[in-house]
DNA sequence: GGGTTTTGCCTAATGCCTGTAGGCTGGGAC
DNA sequence: GTCCCAGCCTACAGGCATTAGGCAAAACCC
C-alpha cells in the first residue's frame, strides 16, 4: 500500500499547496509530513532541512510564474504585453497566495541561479524592447515595473486596501495605465529628467 | 537591584531593536526575555502572547514612521514633499529593517485603528492635495504611490537589485521623478485614460 | 508601625517543532 | 534462496510558546 513514493518534488509540491492554504510561515515539516501520511523524520531523506524546503517552494513558484508570464505576453506588444505581464502576476498572487508569498523574500542561491530566474530577465527585457527603451534605461524600467506591480500586490495581499473604497481593481487598472503611459514617454524624455 | 521595571513599552522597544538586528521573524519571546535579563514567562504579565508583541512592534514602527514623514514633508509642496515622503520611508527601511519589515504584513486591529494610521492618511492626502488632484482620484494615487515606494524598498531589502548594475539609488531617483511627473499630469488627463 | 493585599518575577511542566541517530523491512540483484 | 540497501520508522535531544501556581517585596490601610 505504498502511496506516492515520496520524492523531493512531491514533498515540495505538497508544501506549496500547504503554503497556499495556511500561509507561507505556516509551512512546517510536521504539517507536510502529516499531509503525506508519513512521519516527520522521513522527510529528511529527501530535503536537507526546512530552509531547503522553503527554497524549493520559491524555486517552484518562480518557475510557475515565469511560465504564466511567458504565455501571457506571447505575441503581444506594448500595452497589451504589459497588461498580460501584470495580470499574470496578479492572478498568481490571488490564486496561489502562499506560493506568491514565497517570492517576497531573500531567495536562496538555487532559486537565483535557476533557469526560471533567467527566463524572467529575458521576458521583462523583451517587454521593454517593445516599448523602444534604450538599453541603459531598461534596468531602471524593470526595477520600477517590478516595484509597482509587486508593491501593489503585496499591499493588496496584506489588506491595505480593505479600509478604503473603491475596489482595488479600479486602482489596479489606473496603475497599469500609468505604467504604460510612463514607458511610452520614457524613451523620449528619460535622459533630461535626471541629469 | 531592579533594572528597568519591565513594562509593555520597554518590552516592545527591546523587541523592536531585536527585530532590527535579527530580522522580524527572529523576534522570539525567549530572545527578548534573555536580552532583558528575565525569564520568558515573566513577559506574559505585560504582553498577551507573541502575536501581541509583534503587533506592538508594528504599532511602534507605524508611529515612528508617521512622525518622520510628518517632519519630512512639513513646509514642502509637490516634488519636494514627494521626495521628503519617499526618503523618509527609505531611510527608515534602511536604518530599521526589522521595524520596517513589521509593516509589511497584515496589521492587527490595534495598529489599524491607531492614531498613527490616521496620521498617515492625513499626511498622504495633504501631499496629494498639493498636486491639485481631484478628491476622487486621491485614493488611486495614494495606492499607486504606496505600491511603488513600498515595492521598491521591499525588492531592495530582499536583494533583488543585487544582481544587476547600477546601484539602486539611480533607479530610486528615476522612480521618484516618474512618480512626480505622473502626479503632475494626473489631474489633467486621468479621467480620459480610464473611461 | 504592623498586618494585609497586591504586584511582579520566579520555577515547574506541557506540547509542538526541528533535527540527529540508529533500527527494521521488503523488494531487487545475482 | 540469500544478500543488500533504499526508505520509512521509533527514540531522543534541544528550543520555543504558553499555562499554572509559588513567593517575596513593595504598597497600602488603619
Is residue A16 within 8 A of residue A99, CB to CB? The reply is yes
At residue A4, the pLDDT reads: 61
How far apart CA A131 and CA A78 sit, in angstroms, is 6
Residue numbers in B near A104 (CB within 8 A): 154, 158
- Do A182 and B177 lie within an 8 Å CB cutoff? no
What cell was used for A159? 489588506
Reduced to 3 DSSP states, what percent helix, strand and coil does chain B have, rounded to the nearest 5?
75, 0, 25
Q: pLDDT tens digit string along B87-106? A: 999 999 999 999 999 999 99
At residue A185, the pLDDT reads: 86
Is residue A27 within 8 A of residue A54, CB to CB? The reply is yes
Quick check: A51 contacting B, CB < 8 Å? no
How far apart CA A171 and CA B142 sit, in angstroms, is 9
Is residue B13 within 8 A of residue B27, CB to CB? The reply is no
At residue A195, the pLDDT reads: 41
Domains defined along chain B, listed by start: 57-193 (1.10.357.10)
Distances in Å between the alpha carbon of B4 and those of B7, B11, B95? 8, 10, 25
Is residue A146 within 8 A of residue A125, CB to CB? The reply is no
Q: Both ends of chain B: CA-CA distance in Å?
A: 70
Distances in Å between the alpha carbon of A102 and those of A19, A72, B98? 8, 21, 18
Q: What is the pLDDT along chain B (195 residues), one digit of tens a residue?
A: 345 678 999 999 999 999 999 999 999 999 999 999 999 999 999 999 999 999 999 999 999 999 999 999 998 988 999 999 999 999 999 999 999 999 999 988 888 888 999 998 889 988 998 888 888 889 999 999 999 999 999 999 999 999 888 999 999 999 999 999 999 888 665 444 444
DSSP string, B38-85: S-GGGGGGT-SSHHHHHHHHHHHHHHHHHHHHHHHHTT--HHHHHHHH
Q: pLDDT tens digit string along A20-53? A: 999 999 999 999 999 999 999 999 999 999 999 9
Q: pLDDT tens digit string along B130-163? A: 888 888 889 999 999 999 999 999 999 999 999 8
* Mean per-residue pLDDT pooled into runs of 10, chain A (195 residues): 71 96 95 94 93 95 95 90 96 97 91 88 88 88 96 96 91 95 77 45
The model carries a pTM of 0.90
Q: What are the φ and ψ backbone dihedral angles of B9, each rounded to 5 degrees?
A: -60, -45
Q: What is the average pLDDT score of chain A?
A: 90
Residue numbers in B near A148 (CB within 8 A): 144, 147-148, 151
How far apart CA A15 and CA B85 sit, in angstroms, is 40
Distances in Å between the alpha carbon of A17 and those of A59, A157, B148, B157? 14, 17, 29, 27
How far apart CA B46 and CA B33 sit, in angstroms, is 12
What cell was used for B25? 521573524
The residues close to strand C, meaning Cβ under 7 A, are: A 28-31, 40-41, 44, 49-51; B 5-6, 38-39, 41-42, 45-46
Q: Both ends of chain A: CA-CA distance in Å?
A: 70
At residue A19, the pLDDT reads: 97
- Do A175 and B139 lie within an 8 Å CB cutoff? no
At residue A146, the pLDDT reads: 95
Amino acid at each position: 500500500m505504498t502511496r506516492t513514493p515520496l520524492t523531493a518534488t512531491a514533498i515540495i509540491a505538497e508544501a506549496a499547496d500547504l503554503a497556499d492554504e495556511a500561509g507561507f510561515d505556516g509551512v512546517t515539516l510536521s504539517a507536510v509530513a502529516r499531509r503525506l501520511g508519513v512521519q516527520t523524520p522521513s522527510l529528511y531523506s529527501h530535503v536537507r532541512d526546512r530552509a531547503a524546503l522553503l527554497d524549493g517552494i520559491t524555486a517552484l513558484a518562480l518557475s510557475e510564474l515565469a511560465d504564466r508570464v511567458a504565455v501571457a505576453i506571447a505575441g503581444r506588444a506594448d500595452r497589451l504585453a504589459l497588461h498580460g505581464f501584470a495580470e499574470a502576476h496578479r492572478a498568481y498572487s490571488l490564486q496561489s497566495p502562499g506560493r506568491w508569498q514565497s517570492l517576497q523574500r531573500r531567495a536562496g542561491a538555487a532559486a537565483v541561479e535557476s533557469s526560471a530566474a533567467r527566463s524572467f530577465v529575458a521576458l521583462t527585457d523583451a517587454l521593454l524592447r517593445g516599448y523602444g527603451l534604450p538599453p541603459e534605461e531598461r534596468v531602471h524600467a524593470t526595477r520600477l515595473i517590478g516595484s509597482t506591480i509587486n508593491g501593489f500586490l503585496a499591499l493588496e495581499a496584506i489588506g491595505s486596501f480593505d479600509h478604503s473604497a473603491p475596489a482595488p481593481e479600479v486602482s489596479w487598472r489606473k496603475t497599469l495605465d500609468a505604467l504604460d503611459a510612463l514607458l511610452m514617454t520614457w524613451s523620449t524624455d528619460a535622459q533630461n529628467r535626471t541629469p
